[in-house]
Each structure stands twice: as structure tokens, then as C-alpha cells.
């Protein structure tokens, strides 16, 4: 072992020296390294893949955040809207209860208007027997019934859970307990019990005007009957517009809402969306659009500005419907005939009115002057602008003229009524400044004397005002200043005055 170590120690220095020389010799054999050249730079137009991924991630995250924020805002908005609706509903329910409580005192003092118990209403309709349903509306179903005292009634049943039902319930009570007129459907009473909202009306035997025009197979109305129906409905609407300083606007005048009693007298009904009109110092009421398509005033629809002239427009469509006896909107017809108003007005302007008249009417039995005045009145009612439409007072005047023309032709006599009884009644209204010259029957505007009544117009020699007779027969009184000479031409001028057309 010692020998081996000695040998290693003796040979190690030699090996190290020889290795060193060998390395030196080997270095001399390699060529010198070339100078360092940096790599060419990357093109600026192509960003690194890592940058593209980063940008895409940021955009995606932003979109996700925006979507989350949008969903959160929508949920918050819907929650607030729901809370607001619930609050309004509770307020309306409370207001309805308060209104009903206030109205009940009035009802209790009136023989024909009172608060009905739910049990009596259920008995009157055989517990809401479906076989007694005579109509369905936005408020609910309408049943035919009979009260314990034998009166036949129409029972309209709504639901307190319906927001629309509560609003209509209030509107009907507020309107019909305030207004009483022979050409308005009478509200007998109501029931507000066990979550029920029930309105009880007088039963109008003949049903809707529409059912007597088309679709129900009922006997067709004569021209005289149609004129009387128009006059009755016009009286009811005129009363709504003028009975109080602030008008009440029906907003849903249509043939379904004009009912006929056993004598074919017209009664305007369904005041569920009626509302108070503009005050004396206002030109309109800004409100959301409500009504029935086809009867809806286009100006009100576009501007959401409601006036009495909106009812006039709807009534004008009813006049055309009475003349033509067809639906106001009929999609089954060619495009030019779908809308009744547009179709009829087009033929009237072309003088081809004989192409649109109800075939059940015998044209030879209609007085031409009566028909002409009727069509002129209808055309004016459906003018696009409210300012171009007549008032219901003027509409009523013209319809009365239509009836007088027709009756004069049938009886071969003058249209005016000079009976001594009417003259005597009219004379009671004469004032110190005016003297009575002529009397016409048929037209009512107010129950006040001429000294407080509204003027109908002025002719060349006389002024015209109106009043109602004590026996409820409606009259027109033509008045002139004392000592004035009234000629027959003056009378003609009064009747044809532009104020009446």
C-alpha cells in the first residue's frame, strides 16, 4: 500500500504538467470566435401572442361586468316598480273603500240607490249562474238578474285583485251617482263585500245598439228609429259634457255601450274609463290613451290630450256605423275597406253614398235632406282635428233637423211644431228683452230658461236659445229683440246658420 501511494505521489506532478501543456496545445488548434451579432427585432405590426390574450381577457371581463350591472339594474327597477304598483293598489283600494263609505250615506237616503248585500246579489243571479251571463267586459262578467222587489237588473261582477277593476268600480260610482239622466244607464246600487266589487244597473231590455245593426240576427231598425237612437245617445253625451262646470268625458263611446230599452230609447252606459275633462282655464287634459280601436280619436291617440271632442269623434264613428250597419274594423275585407270610417268617408266624398248604406234601409223611404244632413254631421264629427269637429250640442241640433226633415216628409207637413201647449210653456221662459217668435220641438240643451241658457246661434234678424219644458218635452225657442220684424227668410237664415252646421 505504501509503495502504491509513493508511486502515485511521484507521478502526479508529471501528469498535471503534461495535461497543462496538452490543453495549451489544443487551444491553439481552434479558430477565433466570430463577433456577436444581436438577433433582428420583431416586426411592430404583429404584437406578441401574450398581449393579444391579455387584451381579449380584459374586454371579456368588462363585458361580463356590464352584463352583471345591467341585470342588477333591471332587477332593482322591476322591484321598485312592483313596490310602487303595490302601493298604488293599496291606496286605490283604500280610496275605493272611502269613496264607497262616503257614497253609502247618499245611497241610504235614496229610494232606488242603495248598498246591496252580497247574499241578495247572489240570489238575484242564481249565485252567478253562467247561463245568465249577457256580456263580458274589461271589468268582468255581466249577469241578468232580478232583485227581491222584482226589479230586473244587470249585475256587473268584478274582482278586487284587478287593478283595472278597482279603477272602473270607482269611476262608475263617481259618475253614475253624480249624473242622473234619462239617456244614461241608471246605477241602482253596488256591493263591496268579501273581496267582491259588484255594480247593479237597471236592466235595458233590448240590449246593445250593435246587436240591432248587424251580427245578432235581430230585426233591422228603420231610419226613423235610428235617428231617434242617435238623438237619445247625443242627449246623454251632451248632458255629460255640460251638466257641470267641468265636463265628464266618456272615452269609450261605441255601439256596444249604447243600450236600447223596450221603446228603443237610447241609454249610454259603461263609464269605467270616463274621467273629468279640462277645467274652464284648460284646453285639454293630459292622460294616457284609453278607448277602443276604430272609435279612438286620432288626435287624442297621438298627443295624449283629451277633450270633449274625443267623444264627438267616437260618436261620429257610431253615426257611420248606424248608416252602414257593419263593424268599424273588419280584417276580412280588402285593405281599403277594413276601416269603416275611412271606407265610408271616401264614398261620401265621391258622392257614391248609395254604395255604403245598410241594404236593409229602403233609400226611397229616406228623405234626401235628412240623409244629407246626417252624413254631413257624421263627416264633421270624424274630422282629424278636434277644432274642426262640432260640439255635442251642435251634433244634437243637426240630428234633430234630420228627424224633422224625415217626419215632415212622412206626414207631408212642416217640420216645426206650433202647438199651443208648447208655445204656452215656452212663453214662460221669455224675458223682458226678448219676445217669442217661433217654437221647434225635439231639442234639449238645459233645464234653464233662455235668460240663463246657452245660445244656439244667431241669424240675420234673431238670436236662438233653448230650454226644456216642464213636462220634459224638449223644445227649441227662437227669440228676437222686441219690435223686430221676423220674416220667413230670417227664419231660414237661423236654421241654416253656420253656427248650427
Among residues 297, 312, 339, the alpha carbon closest in space to that of 230 is found at 312
C-alpha cell recorded at residue 397: 241640433
- Please, is 217 exposed, middle or buried when counting C-beta atoms within 10 Å of its C-beta (0-12, 13-18, 19+)? exposed
Q: With beta carbons less than 8 A apart as the criterion, state whether 109 and 183 touch.
A: no
CA atoms within 13 A on the CB side of 379: 17
Q: How far apart are CA 489 and CA 212, in angstroms?
A: 41
C-alpha cell recorded at residue 180: 242622473
Residue owning grid cell 235614496: 110
Question: What is the full DSSP assignment across 119-188?
Answer: HHHHHHTTTT-GGGEEEE-SS-EEEEEE-TTS-EEEEEEEETT-HHHHHHHHHHHHHHTT---TTBPPEE
| Helix segments in 329-472, DSSP class H | 340-349, 368-381, 392-411, 420-427
Instruction: For Cα atoms 477, 479, 481, give the angle at the middle one, nearest 5 degrees.
Output: 170
Across 128-157, b (16+ Cβ under 10 Å) vs e yields beeebeeeeeebbbbbbbbbeeeeebbbbb
Q: How far apart are CA 462 and CA 490, in angstroms?
A: 7
285 bridge partner residues: 306
Q: How far apart are CA 172 and CA 187, in angstroms?
A: 8
Judge whether 290 is annotated as a binding position.
no
**Residue tagged active-site, from 105, 192, 252, 394:** 252
- The dihedrals phi and psi of 394, each to the nearest 5 degrees, come to -70, -35
Q: With beta carbons less than 8 A apart as the criterion, state whether 162 and 152 touch.
A: no
Give the count of beta carbons closer than 10 Å to the beta carbon of residue 259.
24
Catalytic annotation on 25? no
Known binding-site positions for ATP: 156
Known binding-site positions: 156
Active site residues: 252
Amino acid at each position: 500500500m505504501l509503495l502504491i501511494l509513493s508511486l502515485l505521489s511521484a507521478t502526479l506532478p508529471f501528469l498535471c504538467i503534461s495535461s497543462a501543456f496538452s490543453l495549451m496545445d489544443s487551444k491553439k488548434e481552434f479558430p477565433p470566435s466570430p463577433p456577436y451579432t444581436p438577433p433582428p427585432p420583431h416586426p411592430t405590426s404583429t404584437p406578441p401572442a401574450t398581449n393579444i390574450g391579455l387584451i381579449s381577457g380584459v374586454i371579456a371581463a368588462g363585458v361580463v361586468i356590464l352584463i352583471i350591472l345591467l341585470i342588477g339594474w333591471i332587477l332593482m327597477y322591476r322591484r321598485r316598480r312592483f313596490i310602487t304598483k303595490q302601493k298604488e293598489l293599496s291606496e286605490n283600494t283604500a280610496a275605493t273603500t272611502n269613496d264607497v263609505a262616503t257614497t253609502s250615506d247618499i245611497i241610504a237616503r235614496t229610494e232606488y240607490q242603495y248598498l246591496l248585500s252580497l247574499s241578495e246579489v247572489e240570489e238575484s243571479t242564481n249565485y252567478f249562474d253562467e247561463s245568465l251571463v249577457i256580456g263580458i267586459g274589461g271589468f268582468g262578467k255581466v249577469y241578468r238578474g232580478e232583485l227581491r222587489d222584482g226589479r230586473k237588473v244587470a249585475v256587473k261582477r268584478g274582482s278586487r285583485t284587478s287593478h283595472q277593476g278597482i279603477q272602473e268600480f270607482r269611476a262608475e260610482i263617481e259618475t253614475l251617482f253624480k249624473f242622473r239622466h234619462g239617456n244614461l244607464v241608471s246605477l241602482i246600487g253596488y256591493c263591496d263585500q268579501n273581496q267582491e266589487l259588484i255594480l247593479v244597473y237597471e236592466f235595458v231590455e233590448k240590449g246593445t245598439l250593435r246587436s240591432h245593426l248587424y251580427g245578432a240576427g235581430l230585426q233591422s231598425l228603420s231610419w226613423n228609429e235610428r235617428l231617434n237612437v242617435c238623438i237619445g245617445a247625443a242627449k246623454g253625451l251632451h248632458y255629460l259634457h255640460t251638466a257641470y262646470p267641468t265636463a265628464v268625458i266618456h272615452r269609450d263611446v261605441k255601439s256596444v255601450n249604447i243600450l236600447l230599452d223596450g221603446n228603443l230609447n237610447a241609454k249610454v252606459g259603461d263609464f269605467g274609463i270616463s274621467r273629468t275633462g279640462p277645467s274652464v282655464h284648460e284646453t285639454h287634459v293630459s292622460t294616457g290613451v284609453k278607448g277602443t280601436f276604430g272609435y279612438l280619436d286620432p288626435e287624442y291617440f297621438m298627443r295624449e290630450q283629451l277633450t270633449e271632442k274625443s267623444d264627438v269623434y267616437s260618436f261620429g264613428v257610431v253615426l257611420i256605423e248606424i248608416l252602414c250597419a257593419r263593424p268599424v274594423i273588419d280584417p276580412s275585407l280588402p285593405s281599403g275597406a277594413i276601416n269603416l270610417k275611412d271606407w265610408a268617408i271616401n264614398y261620401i266624398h265621391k258622392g257614391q253614398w248609395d254604395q255604403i248604406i245598410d241594404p236593409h234601409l229602403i233609400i226611397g223611404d229616406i228623405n234626401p235632406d235628412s240623409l244629407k244632413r246626417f252624413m254631413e254631421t257624421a263627416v264633421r264629427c270624424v274630422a282629424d282635428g278636434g277644432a274642426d269637429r262640432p260640439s255635442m250640442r251642435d251634433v244634437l241640433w243637426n240630428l234633430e233637423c234630420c228627424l224633422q226633415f224625415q217626419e215632415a216628409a212622412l206626414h207631408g207637413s212642416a217640420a216645426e211644431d206650433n202647438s199651443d201647449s208648447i208655445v204656452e210653456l215656452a212663453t214662460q221662459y221669455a224675458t223682458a228683452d226678448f219676445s217669442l217668435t217661433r217654437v221647434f220641438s225635439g231639442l234639449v240643451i238645459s233645464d234653464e230658461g233662455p235668460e240663463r241658457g246657452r245660445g244656439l246661434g244667431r241669424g240675420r234678424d234673431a238670436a236662438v236659445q233653448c230650454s226644456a219644458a216642464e213636462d220634459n218635452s224638449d223644445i227649441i225657442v227662437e227669440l228676437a229683440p222686441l219690435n223686430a220684424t221676423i220674416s220667413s227668410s230670417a227664419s231660414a237664415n237661423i236654421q241654416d246658420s253656420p253656427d248650427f252646421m
